[in-house]
Structure 1
Amino acid sequence: MYNILILEDDHIQLKTLSEIIKQLGDMYQVYEATNTTEAFKIASQNAIDLFYVDINLKNESGFKFALEIRKIKRYRLNWIVFVTIYKEYMLSAFKKIHCYDYIIKPYNKKQIQRMTELLMSDGRAQVAVTEINEKFIIVPIKNIEVKIFVNEIIFVEVFIRTSIIHTTNGSFTIDYLSLKKLNSMINDKNILQSHRSYLVNIKYISKIEKTNNKTSYKIYFYNTDKTALLGNNYKKRIMERFNNVVDEEING
């Protein structure tokens, strides 16, 4: 039996989500809460395996509820999925509290059922530990401390006082954070400086081409159509590492 708690203050949405999960079978016990007081009470009286939390409660914060739940020892690693109408920054921001994912309203029945079955599978505990042990940095974005996993960083570009971190989960803009500081924070062997304004992740480079400027090259990546520059001063090191990665992929 898996215990699932839904925190949603819209009664129609609450019942809809609850019914979608109940259709998976009797092994799923669904608890419903319309406010954080009810949710905390249910969580204290029952061992909840998975939380579905509406981030946009009318008079409360679903995000704050999740932060408080994480302070309870028994819920330090349990899965939390946020329900929201907003997409921007959601996944990376919520990883701060080891949130698995988020779903966008209106609900997609198949997506919710597939996600619920996946998280309640036998491998869920190992997946949680693996995610938490991954290297990350925390940066301030729009007054939110956002957790970005280093292995998801494709490249970083800096213009004057603004840094943009391009990741597999989107791009994040940070003010007043220098390339030197970011490089120190990231401190990863696969992420190297390629230009006075760029850091690149060797693992995501698809190709390197010369530009019209004789002293610079353009770097292309998997997972994004954005590009970075490779300066002549950084060319040797980047090219050596890139060629080594290609050789490793070819030779297995």
Structure 2
Amino acid sequence: MINILLLEDDKKLLNHYKDVVENTFDDCQVFLATTGKKAITIAKSQKIDLMLLDMELDEEKKVLGLDYANMISIIQQDIDFMIISGFSEYLRDAGDVEPYYYFMKPVNDAFLSRKLQEWEILKSKNVKQTQKNIRLQTESGMAIVPLNRISYIEKMERKIKIKTFNKEYVCKDSLRNMMTKLDDRFFHAHQSFIVNMLHIESIEAQEDRTWKIEFKGIEDEALLSRYKAKAFFNVFEGVSYESIS
């Protein structure tokens, strides 16, 4: 069973989101909260898999759902978030909890349902993999980064950049050595890039026979070498390279 927590101060919207969630999942339990305090109380007593939350919880915009999401992420470290807001200005701050998706109001029901289904599929894949962290000696000090937060790793001369939804870590290392620390969700797609297969949003062929990779939740792009394409597509979502080349 999937446990979903909804935080929305508008009761009409709250019940509407509840209907969408219940119509999307065959087996789920939905918990409702109109205040951040209520959401925290629920999170302390129930195991929550996914939380959908409104960003603004009062007319004065003094109380943000993100403030409570940060607190709940400490209580339940495996929880995922989807954020709903009428304003894009909060997108950068939302990176603190690295949400799976950031919806702009008004939310299309079919699109919301599709993203919920997508999350469920990726969640089931992640559950099968043991949660791992990678320890990095970065330019600003030691950092411990969960593998499931990493979108891609890029070679930059004698350094590498590790990119998550909202942060970048730079350290002295090589892509070859990094591959020994990663698991099978990562693919060495190009001489300059390692990519997390589960974070890929789209792949687009380029005129030089390379491929441009775009990721969920970030504007950055990576490259897939034409020499790596066949192996890549044979493992990426079960797509056959021959069927698209």
Q: Which moved more, 1:20-29 or 1:92-101?
A: 92-101
Aligned-pair CA distance for 1:44: 2.0
| SS of equivalent to 1:71 | helix
Q: TM-score, with normalisation over the residues of structure 2?
A: 0.54
Question: For residue 79 of structure 2, what is the aligned residue in structure 1?
Answer: 78
Deviations 1:6-46 (A, max 9, x none): 00112222122111112235512211111111111122222
Check 1:247–1:24 CA distance in 2 against 1; reply closer, same or farther (3 A cut).
closer
Secondary structure of the residue aligned to 1:107 is coil
Percent identical pairs in the alignment equals 21
Shift in alpha-carbon separation, 1:250–1:44, aligned structure 2, 3 A? closer
Pick from 170, 173, 184 the counterpart of residue 185 of structure 1: 170
Tell me the SS of whatever aligns to 2:170. Answer: helix
Q: How many angstroms apart in 2 are the aligned matches of 1:31 and 1:98?
A: 22
How big is the shift at 1:134? 10
**Partner residue in 2 for 1:34:** 34
Greater displacement, 121-130 / 59-68 = 121-130
Give the deviation of 1:87 after TM superposition: 3.0
Instruction: Select 1:123's aligned residue among 101, 122, 125.
Output: 125
Contact 2:5 2:30 in 1 (8 A): yes
TM-score (norm 1): 0.53
Q: Give distance in 1, aligned partners of 2:43 and 2:67.
A: 15
Structure of higher CA gyration radius: 1
1:105 to partner: Cα distance: 1.1
- After TM superposition, list the pairs within 5 Å mapping 1:79-98 onto structure 2: 79-87=80-88, 90=91, 93-98=93-98
Mapped contact 2:139–2:171 kept (Cα < 8 A): no
- Is 1:3–1:50's contact at 8 Å kept on the other side of the alignment? yes
The aligned amino acid for 2:170 is: M
Aligned to 2:71: 68
**Amino acid of the residue matched to residue 31 of structure 1?**
F
Is residue 70–residue 96 contact of structure 2 (8 Å, CA) maintained in 1?
no
**Cross-structure match for 2:112:** 112
Superposed counterparts of 1:132-211, under 5 Å? 151=152, 185=170, 187=172, 189=174, 202-203=192-193
CA displacement 1:39-97 (0-9 Å, x = unmatched): 1112222222210011222142211111111211xx1011111111233572x653432
* Inter-partner Cα distance in structure 2 for 1:124 and 1:89: 27
Rate the CA distance shift 1:110–1:39 in 2: closer, same or farther, 3 A.
same
Q: How many residues are matched?
A: 178
**Structure 1 residues 129, 34: CA separation in 2 closer, same or farther (over 3 Å shift)?**
same
**Aligned equivalent of 2:198:** none
Q: 1:251 to 1:77 in 2, by over 3 A?
A: closer
Gaps of 5+ in 1: 140-147, 156-166, 173-181, 191-200, 209-220, 225-241
Give unmatched runs, 5+ long, in structure 2: 141-148, 157-162, 176-190, 195-205, 215-222, 232-245
Is 1:249 matched with 2:234? no
CA root-mean-square deviation: 4.5
For 1:100, the equivalent position in structure 2 comes to 100
**Deviation readout 1:137-185 (Å, 9 max, x if unpaired):** 999xxxxxxxx95727799xxxxxxxxxxx9989x9xxxxxxxxx9x83
CA gap of 1:250–1:153, structure 2 versus 1, over 3 A, is closer
Residues of 2 paired with 1:203 and 1:188: CA distance? 13
